[in-house]
A and B are shown apart, each in its own frame.
Chain A
Amino acid sequence: MDLVQLQRQLVDYRTSLYHEGFLDEQFTQLQSLQDENNPDFVVEVVSLFFEDSERLLNELSKALEQQVIDFKRMDAQVHQLKGSSSSIGAHRVQKLCIVFRNYCEAQNVEGCLKCLQQVKHEYGIIKTKLESMFQLEQQILNAGGSIPV
């Protein structure tokens, strides 16, 4: 594929992510932190985020299956998820986490279950989107181009 086209595709794709609220300004900050000293910074951080989030989502699912639900622990876990999602700028996930924490505080099992499903869904989307974005970037880099800002 033509390099310029690839680059344009990347820019469009990224813009759409911002537009649709999947990402926020923090992701830009993240990108600005990446430089020649730290060329894989964004990918590293995002991978860490995936790892972390998957662990947390698993734990949350398990917690909700228990007879006695430890809401306090769940709240702490959702807090973690909220922190990391806001750190990478995963805007939608972060917003959902706020709602999720309210349900944890209110000890609302129904709400928690619903929220968990939504968070999982959103997480799935952002993961896919980011991965395809990284793929695009990789393609551009492989083609010898530079990532447009």
Chain B
Amino acid sequence: MAKPPRLLIRTFARYTERTAFERPLTSGVAYAVRVLHSEREQFEKQQGWTIKRMDTLEQNPVHKDDYNPDLLEPSPIQEEYAPVIFAQDIVSHVVSLDMLSGQEDSKNVLCARKSGKGVLTAPFRLLKTNRLGVILTFAVYKRDLPLNATPTERIQATDGYLGGVFDIESLVEKLLQQLASKQTILVNVLDTTNQSYPISMYGSNASNDGLEHVSLLNFGDPFRKHEMRCRFKQKPPWPWLGITTSIGILVIALLVGHIFHATVNRLAKVEDDCHKMMELKKQAEAADVAKSQFLATVSHEIRTPMNGVLGMLHMLMDTDLDVTQLDYVRTAQASGKALVALINEVLDQAKIKSGKLELEEVQFDLRAILDDVLSLFSGKSQDKGVEVVQLAVYISDQVPQMLIGDPGRFRQIIINLMGNSIKFTEKGHILVTVHLVEEVIDSIEVETESSSENTLSGFPVADRRQSWKGFRTFSQEGSINPFSHSISLIVSVEDTGEGIPLEAQSRVFTPFMQVDPSISRTHGGTGIGLSISKCLVNLMKGEIGFVSIPKIGSTFTFTAVFTSGSSSSKKYKSQQINKMSNSVSSEFYGMRALVMDPRPVRAKVSKYQIRRLGIHVEVVSQWKQGLSSIRRGSNAINMVIIEQEVWDKYLNNSTLFFDTLEKIDYGTPPKVFLLSNSISSSGANISTGVCNMTVIPKPWRASMLAAALQRTMGVGNKGNPCNGQLPSLSLRNLLLGRKILIVDDNNVNLKVAAGALKKYGADVVSATRGIEAIELLTPPHQFDACFMDIQMPEMDGFEATRRIRDMEHNINNRIHHGELSVEAYNNVSNWHVSILAMTADVIQATHEECLRCGMDGYVSKPFEAEQLYREVSRFFQ
């Protein structure tokens, strides 16, 4: 084999260099020639260098900078050599190295020439670069060999060896550069020919965290196995969105949980509190019941001795006392009565509070009640002081004569309001007006006296329209149903008293709250009245309000709903209709009266009262006008009624007036009446000495007027004294001729009660057993009332009453259905005898039981005139 010419070496180098792009993965190509030992000497001479050994180099790798091929040892004597003769420039340092002297290389070379295929070395440190690499070796044969040539044939035909060096690191880097994701992917290339000791060919020995992809590499050598392991360089990033979301959800869940927990806790607490409250409520109710019982008991215990005290005082007053003593007694009696009234009020309050107060539904005459109240207060208004407080009542004509409701409670409200007015009014007037609510709503012409001096007494008053400003009734006018029988009344009590201080006005209806603690010292009272009144008004489906101007006066107004009694009056026994007004009015019916009064409001009140007697009224404001009216004589005037004010101012010293009267030449001259503001002045007979002038003391009451008229005009004189003075007298009026049944098992009681009622003129029948009472009270009968003992053997008063009511109900029904003729029952179609319980027991429960079983009321035993009057007056008006 000849030494290759220099040119050839150069050409190889250049060629390989130029074609390097075709073998992108090789770092260099070299060609080694087969040299037998016999040919070595000649070959070395030809080449000009000795064949160098490379195993020492392998054992002592040198730094590439120190690499110097001349320092390498010559190859020891071998059978044959494989020195590199051609090399690409990059690997030119391998020229002259004997491939067979290297451990890996010799294996490769021998293997390659035997198999005739390319053979890869195990990775090793490349010379000079010291980088890991593999060498792919192909054998070059001198002639074409058949595919099935034997290894021996192949060895003999071998001419040389072509080797390509693969720098694995750069190889992989190049590959990865192509993948362009070197930053994110870590690649390890391993030679895994020996499974248990894989040789790392590329990549750092980072810890294996399992997340890697393993792929087998085939570099064309079937004897070696390579693997590529890929994994992400960075750990997978935290899933922040997921984390934040879940944290958020967790927080929300916690919050919701907390809220839920708190709610549950709260619920439990509230429930617990509720239980406690219920418990407390029960206790409070029990305490309330106990309190009511206590009050009832105590009131009984107080009332009984108080009756004794009052009775004794009454007796004492009848004895011979000097003025001072009489005063003491009167004071003591007044105090006693106040105490009893207080007890009754407290009982009322307790009853209202426990909701046990029920209103009655009976027919009554509103006008009679107001007359009654007026007479009750007339005495008080006289006592007040120097100046006289005028009391007056005005009831609109629109208000029906008979109403159905609870007269007792209505009276209580009026008494309370008037009582307050009386207490705080020193001068001027107290005026009660009653209208239908519709009237007040409809008419704008409602008296505008508030601004002017045009009031009853001439003193300014608080505008009553202000007092009902807040009423719901007025805001929803549509609520008044014109087709129903219900009658809505509006009642005002107007006074010219000292008024309520502004700061106290808000607590007027609060129980036990007086304007000022000193009030109770100067005026007495408990401050409970108005709150009771408010409750009662509410029970009557009404409202109460007031307006008050300090130093001017107060006006309290309330509404109340009643049923019209007129439509159903026939159903009630005639005895309940006010006999007095009926009989009296007929006596004077059609007469004419002339009222002289310059004050419209006062004249209106007078007119109302006189008209109740069926008398036509003409009002003149000027006395001269009145005289001309009398003179004209076109309508015969039966009476002239002169207001005291007019008399005092104009007529007192004038004879003109009486002259005029005397000169009248037709019929009988009119009678003259003077309306006096106080009873006292009536005693001081009018100084004119005119015989035919009568003084009518105010306040106006139809009965009073009627009595005066009867006396003066000699009409239907029944010898009835003017009533309302003493209970015993009026009791006599009420009871005279009444047929009354008394039922009591106790003979002594029976006799005493009968004696008492007989004294007042009643026609008394006695019975000792309940069963007798039932027999006697089986309709038709003539009894007007029945006084029934409660505690009786065999059948008590409750049971007897119940049976009587059942019986009456039964008979009424049968009359109603025509099964029984009304004629057979005295023409009474609605039997209801008034039954009053007689009891020594004033406990509320007893009273309630009385009402429940159908009784109309009760009187305490033994009889007491005033109480008897109170109860009886409710039935015999």
Binding site for B on A (CB under 8 A): 24-26, 28-30, 32-35, 37-38, 41, 44-45, 48-49, 51-52, 76, 79-80, 83-84, 86-88, 149
Smallest CB separation, B75 vs chain A (Å): 147
- 25 cross-chain CB contacts under 8 A: A25-B307, A25-B308, A25-B312, A25-B315, A26-B862, A29-B311, A29-B752, A29-B862, A30-B755, A33-B752, A33-B755, A33-B758, A33-B759, A35-B759, A37-B758, A38-B755, A38-B758, A38-B759, A44-B751, A49-B748, A51-B747, A52-B746, A83-B746, A87-B746, A88-B752
The distance from the CB of A23 to the nearest CB of chain B, in whole angstroms, is 12
Mark B residues whose CB is within 8 Å of A.
307-308, 311-312, 315, 318, 744-749, 751-753, 755-756, 758-759, 791, 793, 840, 861-863
Given contacts A25-B307, A28-B315, could you give 7 more A-B pairs where the C-beta distance is less than 8 Å?
A: A33-B759, A45-B755, A48-B748, A48-B751, A84-B749, A87-B748, A87-B861
Q: Which of A35, A45, A79, A86 contacts B751 (CB 8 A)?
A: A45
Min Cβ gap A130→B in Å is 13
- Rounded to whole angstroms, the CA-CA distance of A30 and B307 in the bound complex is 15
Q: Which residues of A contact B755 (CB under 8 A)?
A: 30, 33-34, 38, 41, 45
Q: Which of B318, B748, B749, B863 has the most CB of A within 10 A?
A: B748
A37 to chain B: closest residue by CB: B758
Q: Which residues of A contact B744 (CB under 8 A)?
A: 83
Q: Of A29, A48, A76, A84, which one neighbours B756 at CB under 8 angstroms?
A: A29
Assess the A33–B307 pair: CB atoms within 8 A.
no
Q: Are A52 and B756 in contact (CB under 8 A)?
A: no
In the complex, A84→B861 CA distance in Å?
11
Residues of B within 8 A of A87 (CB): 746, 748-749, 751-753, 861-862
Identify the 10 closest CB pairs spanning chains A and B, nearest first.
Answer: A84-B748, A25-B311, A83-B746, A33-B755, A87-B752, A87-B749, A49-B748, A87-B748, A45-B751, A26-B862
**C-alpha gap A106/B751 in the complex (Å):** 32
* Contact flag A52-B748 (CB < 8 Å), given A29-B756, A29-B862, A45-B755: yes
Task: Assess whether A76 is in contact with B793, with CB atoms less than 8 Å apart.
Answer: yes
Q: Closest Cβ of chain A: how far from B301's Cβ, in Å?
A: 12
CB distance from B769 to the nearest CB of A (A): 13
> Closest residue to B761 on the A side, CB-wise?
A37
> Smallest CB-CB separation from B789: which chain A residue?
A83
Question: With A and B bound together, what is the CA distance between A66 and B588 in angstroms?
Answer: 73
**Interface majority SS on B: helix, strand, loop or mixed?**
helix
Query: Which residues from B are CB-within-8-Å of A41?
Result: 755
Check B311–A86 contact: CB distance below 8 A.
Answer: no
Q: Is the interface of A mostly helix, strand, loop or mixed?
A: helix
Expressed in whole angstroms, the Cα–Cα distance for A45 and B753 within the complex equals 11
Q: How far is the CB of A142 from chain B (nearest CB, A)?
A: 24
User: B748 to A29, Cβ gap below 8 A?
Assistant: no
Chain B residues near A30: list those with CB within 8 A: 752, 755
Residues of B within 8 A of A83 (CB): 744, 746, 748-749, 840, 861
Which residues of B are found within 8 Å of A80, using beta-carbon distances?
Answer: 745-746
The answer to whether A24 touches B308 (Cβ under 8 A) is yes
What is the CA–CA distance of A147 and B747 in the complex, to the nearest angstrom? 26
Q: Which of A32, A33, A45, A149 contacts B748 (CB 8 A)?
A: A45
Given A38-B758, A79-B791, check contact A45 B311 (CB 8 Å): no
Contacts of B308 in A (CB 8 A): 24-25
Bound-complex Cα distance A30 to B311 (A): 12
**Nearest chain A residue, comparing its CB with the CB of B746:** A83
Closest Cβ of chain A to B48, distance in Å, is: 157
CA distance in complex: A136, B555 (Å): 61
Closest to A30 in B: B752
Cβ contacts under 8 Å, B752 to chain A: 29-30, 33, 45, 87-88
CB within 8 Å for A149 and B318 given contacts A29-B862, A87-B752:
yes
Is A84 a contact partner of B863 (Cβ separation < 8 A)? no
Q: Tell me whether B840 and A48 are in contact (CB under 8 A).
A: no
Contacts of B315 in A (CB 8 A): 25, 28
A44 to B753, CA, bound (A): 13
Q: A30-B752, A33-B759, A79-B791 are in contact. Are A86 and B747 (CB under 8 A)?
A: no
Task: Considering the complex, give the chain B residue whose CB is closest to the CB of A29.
Answer: B862
What's the minimum C-beta distance from B255 to chain A, rounded to whole angstroms?
69
How far apart are the CA atoms of A25 and B863 in the complex, in Å?
A: 11
Check A48–B862 contact: CB distance below 8 A.
no
Task: State how many angstroms separate the Cβ of A22 from the closest Cβ of chain B.
Answer: 14
Tell which of B311, B747, B863 touches A28, judged by Cβ atoms closer than 8 Å: B311
Specify which of A44, A51, A83 lies most central, judged by the most chain B CB atoms within 10 Å of its CB: A83
Known contacts A29-B862, A38-B755; is-contact A52 B747 (Cβ 8 Å): yes
Q: Check B759 against A88 for contact (C-beta < 8 Å).
A: no
* CB of A37, distance to nearest CB on chain B (Å): 8
For residue A89, which residue of chain B has the nearest CB? B862
| A86-B307 contact in complex given A33-B759, A35-B759, A48-B751, C-beta closer than 8 Å | no
Question: Which residues on the A side are within 8 Å of B793 (C-beta)?
Answer: 76
Give the interface centre of A29, A30, A38 by most chain B CB atoms within 10 Å.
A29
Q: Which residues of B have CB within 8 Å of A35?
A: 759
Asked whether A88 and B748 contact (CB < 8 A) given A38-B758, A41-B755, A79-B791, the answer is: yes
- The CA of A76 and the CA of B747, in the complex, are separated in Å by 14
Q: How far is the CA of A64 from the CA of B758 in the complex (A)?
A: 39
- Report the separation of the CA atoms of residues A39 and B129 in the bound assembly, to the nearest whole angstrom: 164
Interface centre among B315, B749, B791 (most CB of A within 10 A): B749
**Is A84 a contact of B840 with CB atoms below 8 Å?**
no
| Closest Cβ neighbor of B863 among chain A residues | A29
A80-B315 Cα distance, complex, nearest whole Å: 28
Can you name the residue of chain B whose Cβ is closest to the Cβ of A84?
B748
Give the complex CA separation of A35 and B753 in angstroms: 15
For A83, the closest partner residue in chain B by CB is B746
- Residues of B contacting A38 with CB < 8 Å? 755, 758-759
Closest chain B residue, CB of each to CB of A80:
B746
**CA A88 – CA B752 in complex, angstroms?**
8
Min C-beta distance of A13 to chain B, whole Å: 17
Closest Cβ of chain B to A70, distance in Å, is 13
For residue B838, which residue of chain A has the nearest CB? Answer: A83
Report how far A41 CA is from B746 CA in the complex, Å.
Answer: 17
Q: How far is the CA of A38 from the CA of B755 in the complex (A)?
A: 8
**Assembled-state Cα–Cα distance A104/B344 (Å):** 32
| Partner of A84 from B318, B747, B758 at Cβ < 8 Å | B747
- The interface residues of chain B lying within 8 Å CB-to-CB of A88 are 748, 752
A48:B747 contact, CB within 8 angstroms: yes
Q: How far is the CB of A64 from chain B (nearest CB, A)?
A: 20
